[in-house]
Structure 1
Amino acid sequence: MKQVIHFSFLIFFIFFICCTATSAQAPAESPAESPAAVPSGPIKIIAILKKSGHFTTFIRLLKNTDMAEQVNGQLKKTNIGRTIFAPPDSGFSDLKLGTLNSLSGSEQLQLVQFHVIPAYLSVLQLQTATNPVHTVAGDSNEGDFQLNVTSSSTQVNITTGVVNATITDTLFNENGRLAVYQVDHVLLPLKLFGTSPLTPPPSKPEKDDGLNATAPASSGVVDPNCQVTAAISVGVAVAALFSLWL
């Protein structure tokens, strides 16, 4: 009887050890499934633009005007969100030479602020937005910083009264926090640019077909060959008259 009890206890002990070992070796929760493992660090607008690789001028403006730090800080402290229109380097190359350097520090800040909407707007929300759209630069209702968004079935267009631009790509989109859209032109506010500083496309030279050719102006110098020809003509005429007279 004692042997049966000891044997039963031994079986129970072995079963307990096996269960304990199995529990210890159970796979841990994967980082993707763990809420604590989801990245929750602050958004860096410069890092987003650098990843795309062709926003050097806009990045420099964001840094020089401290707008990069302002946007990062606002996204960290508030839940309102931001929408940024980012022109690539090719958009800045469309401007006349020296356009950016002609702006003061405060004007460069206003130019960058004109590319930032103080709210998160998805593409669908942009398509249904009420115009004029308010930017960080100032009150759009006065017309100085007026930004109007229109859309079609295939694209979203932005007009400022100075330039027309189109959203060509979505660089970053975190619902409710930040949307960064690439635009093909720099958004130029009416307050800073009364007339468009865009470089006009080079004109094609007109084809010379000879129909519009003009006669060269007279220089006042008589060609010697013309003098000889005139003298011969006069001589022939005099000889003819003399022969008739005889």
Structure 2
Amino acid sequence: MATTRLTLAPILLIAAVLLSTETTAQPTAPAPGPAGPINLTQILEKGGQFTKFMHLLNITQVGAQVNIQLNSSSEGMTVFAPTDNAFQNLKPGTLNKLTADEQVKLILYHVSPKYYSLDDLLSVSNPVRTQASGRDNGVYGLNFTGEANQVNVSTGYVETRVSNALRQQRPLAVYVVDMVLLPGEMFGENKLSPIAPAPKSPSSGVSDDSNSTKKAPASPSDKSGSGERKAGLGFGIGLVVLCLKFLF
């Protein structure tokens, strides 16, 4: 019995060494790497119905601006993405009538410089600033109303529902809208041109004193003087006629 134990001891020792070697030789799972930078275009591409919006984001450079700000700002951003059908439902020529600066303003109007969840939009203080607002909160802002899980957005010119979220995770939220958000400042009755009017050319010959060449109306004193001269002239002619009667 003692001999058997002595014989098994080296075998067990060798087996233990082999098991420990296999355990240490197994590679450990690599730790997950840092998440890559957020790209708005890639998110829209996965949605599959935002070709026109992506095109406008590209030609106006707003898409690149959003990507840069997303990875450098602590406030995050919220994007309202109109579908291709939303653009098709616009009146013909709506976008073509806009200047390059107006197109930039329109696309900036679909981006808010702060992250909002759907719950945030239900309780947010209106109007909500957009990238088109600049420092003025009251201009080019969005108004949100709704209850439960339904949120509506109004521009003062159009109103539509905020649909499903393509992404709702800080620092970026992307929501689908079924209408292009046309700002009331550009398309409403009280339209405010986003471009300052060109100054009048001095060679145009038009001035504020253009009416100065018109003859000024006669004053009451001029009228009375004219009447007195006419009366005096009539009296003199009558006196001459009377004298001629006596002579002849």
Q: CA deviation at 1:48?
A: 1.2
Normalized against structure 2, the TM-score is what?
A: 0.68
Q: 1:99-114 maps to which residues of 2 (within 5 A)?
A: 99-114=94-109
Q: CA deviation at 1:87?
A: 0.6
Q: CA deviation at 1:146?
A: 2.6
Aligned match for 2:187, one of 167, 187, 193: 193
- The answer to whether the 8 Å contact 1:42/1:76 transfers is yes
**1:132-162 CA deviation, whole Å, 9 max, x = no partner?**
1011101586643131111122410011111
Q: 1:81 maps to what in 2?
A: 76
Please state if 1:57 is matched with 2:52.
Answer: yes
Q: 2:20 maps to what in 1?
A: 19
What's the Cα RMSD here? 2.7
Ranges of 4+ aligned residues in structure 1 off by more than 4 Å: 4-11, 139-143
Q: Distance in 2 between matches of 1:152 and 1:143?
A: 24
Please state if 1:173 is matched with 2:174.
Answer: no
Q: 1:28 maps to what in 2?
A: 28
Q: Distance in 2 between matches of 1:136 and 1:23?
A: 56
Q: Distance in 2 between matches of 1:6 and 1:61?
A: 82
The structure whose Rg is larger is 2
Q: Distance in 1 between matches of 2:54 and 2:173?
A: 16
Q: CA deviation at 1:13?
A: 4.1
- The answer to whether the 8 Å contact 1:55/1:89 transfers is yes
Q: CA deviation at 1:194?
A: 2.1
Aligned positions, number: 189
3-state DSSP of counterpart to 1:134: coil
3-state DSSP of counterpart to 2:187: coil
Normalized against structure 1, the TM-score is what?
A: 0.68
- The answer to whether the 8 Å contact 2:129/2:137 transfers is no
Please state if 1:131 is matched with 2:126.
Answer: yes
Change (3 A) 1:42 1:5: same
3-state DSSP of counterpart to 2:185: coil
Q: Distance in 2 between matches of 1:143 and 1:15?
A: 76
Q: 2:148 maps to what in 1?
A: 153
Question: Which structure has the highest helix share of the two?
Answer: 2
Aligned match for 2:66, one of 54, 63, 71: 71
Letter in 1 for 2:13: F
Unaligned 5+ runs, structure 1? 197-246
Sequence identity, in percent?
41
Letter in 2 for 1:23: T
- The answer to whether the 8 Å contact 1:146/1:161 transfers is no
Q: CA deviation at 1:15?
A: 2.0
Change (3 A) 1:89 1:40: same
